[in-house]
Structure formats: structure tokens, C-alpha cells
Amino acid sequence: MRASDGEDVRHLERFVTTKQGVEGFVEPRTAVNDVTLLLVAHDGEWTRRRVPSVKWAHDFANRHQVPSYDAAVVGVPQRMRDYNRRKKAGGI
């Protein structure tokens, strides 16, 4: 597993400051991946990066006034799946 780094944080910060209606989904550590923060904009565009901890992810979201949820509980939003489908079909 690769740990999160400063570039990951800068990427997340760019996303939350340049997109509208962003929500955060904190994904727990698994056997294969470390904790990640999935950010999803109002139109379904998304990004995911490794983060140091679940607490760090929620604190990041709070600092940027982004609602954050436990992805293991709520799942990912439909608008993200719709975005992926549009992108795959060449509509984006």
C-alpha cells in the first residue's frame, strides 16, 4: 500500500475548491487499500485519494465545509454511477 502524501492533499483541496456541491465519502481501510476519501461533486464527477485516517478525512471535510459520510454505511451516490456511465458512453 502507498501512503497518502502532500500531493494527495493538494489534489483533494483543488477538487473541493473548484467543484460545486461536493460531498465526502470516507472509505475504510481494507486488506488491499488504506483509508480513502472519495469526493463527489453535484454533477457526479469524483476523485479518490488515500488519507492518513478516518478522523483526518472527516476533519478535512469539516474544514472545507463539505458534508462527509461513512461510505461503508451509506454507499456511494447514484450521481457518481451516472457520471461513470455517461463518461464510458463518451458523453463527457
pLDDT tens per residue across span 27-84:
999 888 899 999 999 999 999 999 999 999 999 999 999 999 999 999 999 999 999 9
User: What pLDDT is attached to residue 4?
Assistant: 63
Backbone angles phi, psi at 31, to 5 degrees: -65, -25
User: What pLDDT is attached to residue 3?
Assistant: 58
- Is the Cβ–Cβ distance between 60 and 72 less than 8 Å? no
What's the predicted TM-score (pTM) here?
0.91
Three-state DSSP state, 85: helix
**So where are the chain's domains?**
6-88
